[in-house]
């Protein structure tokens, strides 16, 4: 039990501590239950899920790069109905134990986001809130993500906002962040998750082919961290709604940097591939850091960065 109050309010989602998991790096939670007690975490965010199943991209879809990994999983998912049926009992129990379950919503068009969110809202009563992943390729826009422009992101939010009364978050692509963040706030977003992976390329020079089945993939890991801290700081200064920092959190100090930059919550991503118990270790280290700062409440440390 920490001497510091670790509870935070992330856009109406009550979290017993600021530690969350990054979508796509923690499955649906139950895959990690043999490594540690998942209910110690403040929240988990589940892998992006669409109304209908998506097969994802062909293999290979993961490769190591210096300082991180690159993936082209392509949002493989079983569809909301199968997700709710298979993972619902575990996630209901997690919610009963006070860990917020945030379900991530995927779609290839505005209509697909709405269809998926309608199903989530109906079939997942244990969800504390939903997160729109506006980085999915939009078919109507020739593959560009809805979230890559202020208008595109705002359009998704405007269509989805009336679908649920629960907190609605947005996972942001690392582009035009302050202006897109302001557009999403104006349309009623309750919180922003910053950042998604950054597009990269890795070429096998012997075969002259991509190391993935596609030319590009999303970069994750420690190499992202300083960029993500800068982006969280910019977004936290641009909007009033809370921000969850994501990108290269491997230690409690990395998580603390996000909090000092203005984040209310922090998500652990690639670190779970290195050590499946990383989220709970990072929570302990964050508690130790908060205690070392001589505060009684971690909320006092949010945005406390001094230049
Ligand atoms: C294998 C893999 C799958 C991912 N799937 C998703 C996803 O479904 N939705 C999403 O918003 N982000 C997804 N991400 C991005 C992470 O949530 C996170 O934003 C990114 O990895 C940066 O955090 P990290 O450096 O701590 O891993 C995925 C990342 C990885 C490595």
User: Residues 82-132: pLDDT tens digits?
Assistant: 999 999 999 999 999 999 999 999 999 999 999 999 999 999 999 999 999
Confidence check: pLDDT of 142 > 90: no
- Judge whether 124 counts as a catalytic residue: no
Sole residue written with tokens 């591939």: 273
User: Residues 155-203: pLDDT tens digits?
Assistant: 999 999 999 999 999 999 999 999 999 999 999 999 999 999 999 999 9
Residue 196 Cβ inside 6 Å of ligand 1? The answer reads yes
Q: What is the mean pLDDT of residues 137-150?
A: 81
Sole residue written with tokens 């109406």: 12
Q: Ligand 1 mean position to 197 CA, how many Å?
A: 6
CATH of the domain at 84: 3.20.20.70
Residue 54 is classified by DSSP as: B
- Sort 60 into a burial class: Cβ within 10 Å, 0-12 / 13-18 / 19+: middle
pTM flag (> 0.95) = yes
Q: Ligand 1 mean position to 215 CA, how many Å?
A: 18
Number of domains in the chain: 1
User: Which has the closest alpha carbon to 275: 112, 35, 21?
Assistant: 35
Strands (E) across 31-72 are located at 43-45, 62-65, 68-71
Q: Ligand 1 mean position to 292 CA, how many Å?
A: 31
Report if residue 307 sits inside a domain. no
CA dihedral over 110, 218, 75, 43, signed as positive or negative: negative
The whole-number pLDDT of residue 138 equals 74
Closest atom of ligand 1 to 77 CA is 8
Sole residue written with tokens 């230049």: 307
Residue 248 Cβ inside 6 Å of ligand 1? The answer reads yes
- Rg, the chain, Cα only: 18
Report if residue 2 sits inside a domain. no
Sorted by sequence, the CB contacts under 8 Å of residue 250 that are 6+ apart come out as 222, 225, 270, 271, 274, 278, 282
User: Residues 196-233: pLDDT tens digits?
Assistant: 999 999 999 999 999 999 999 999 999 999 999 999 99
* Burial readout 276-291 (b: 16 or more C-beta within 10 A, e: otherwise): eebbbbbbebbbebbe
Report if residue 231 sits inside a domain. yes
CA diameter of the chain: 57
The whole-number pLDDT of residue 141 equals 73
Is residue 83 a contact partner of residue 46, using CB atoms and an 8 Å limit?
Answer: yes
Residue 264 Cβ inside 6 Å of ligand 1? The answer reads no
Report if residue 282 sits inside a domain. yes
Q: Which two tokens stand for residue 68?
A: 């991180």
d(CA 169, CA 157): 9
SS3 278: helix
Report if residue 152 sits inside a domain. yes
Q: Ligand 1 mean position to 3 CA, how many Å?
A: 32
Q: Which two tokens stand for residue 213?
A: 């089945």
d(CA 286, CA 288): 5
Q: Which of 136, 146, 160, 244 is catalytic?
A: 136
Closest atom of ligand 1 to 220 CA is 25
d(CA 229, CA 247): 8
The whole-number pLDDT of residue 135 equals 87
Report if residue 306 sits inside a domain. no
Better-scored residue on pLDDT, 132 or 144? 132
Report if residue 218 sits inside a domain. yes
Could you list the residue range(s) of the whole structural domain that residue 80 is in? 8-301
Q: Provide the 10 A C-beta neighbour count for residue 188.
A: 13
Please name every residue paired with 245 in a beta bridge, in sequence order, or none if there are none. 194, 266
Nearest CA to ligand 1 atom 6: 24
Report if residue 3 sits inside a domain. no
Mean pLDDT of the chain: 96
């Amino acid at each position: 039990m920490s001497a510091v109050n670790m509870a935070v309010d992330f856009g109406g989602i009550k979290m017993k501590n600021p530690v969350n998991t990054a979508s796509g790096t923690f499955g649906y939670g139950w895959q990690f239950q043999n490594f540690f007690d998942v209910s110690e975490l403040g929240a988990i965010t589940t892998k992006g899920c669409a109304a209908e199943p998506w097969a994802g991209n062909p293999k290979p879809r993961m490769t190591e790069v210096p300082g991180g990994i690159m993936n082209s999983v392509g949002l493989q998912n079983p569809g909301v109905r199968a997700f709710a049926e298979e993972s619902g009992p575990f996630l209901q129990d997690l919610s009963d134990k006070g860990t917020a379950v945030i379900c991530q919503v995927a779609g290839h068009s505005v209509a697909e986001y709405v269809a998926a969110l309608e199903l989530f809202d109906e079939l997942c009563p244990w969800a504390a809130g939903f997160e729109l992943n506006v980085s999915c390729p939009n078919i109507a826009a020739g593959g560009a993500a809805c979230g890559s422009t202020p208008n595109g992101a705002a359009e998704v939010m405007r269509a989805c906002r009336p679908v649920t009364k629960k907190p609605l978050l947005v996972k942001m692509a690392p582009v035009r962040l302050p202006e897109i963040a302001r557009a999403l706030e104006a349309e009623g977003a309750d919180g922003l998750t910053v950042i998604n992976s950054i597009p990269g390329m890795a070429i096998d020079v012997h075969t002259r082919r991509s190391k993935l089945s596609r030319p590009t993939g999303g970069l994750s890991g420690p190499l992202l961290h300083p960029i993500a801290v800068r982006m969280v700081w910019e977004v936290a200064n641009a909007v009033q709604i809370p921000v969850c920092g994501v990108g290269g959190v491997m230690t409690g100090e990395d998580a603390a940097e996000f909090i000092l930059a203005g984040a209310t919550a922090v998500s652990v991503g690639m670190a779970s591939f290195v050590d499946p118990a990383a989220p709970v270790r990072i929570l302990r280290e964050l508690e130790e850091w908060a205690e070392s700062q001589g505060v009684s409440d971690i909320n006092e440390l949010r945005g406390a960065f001094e230049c």
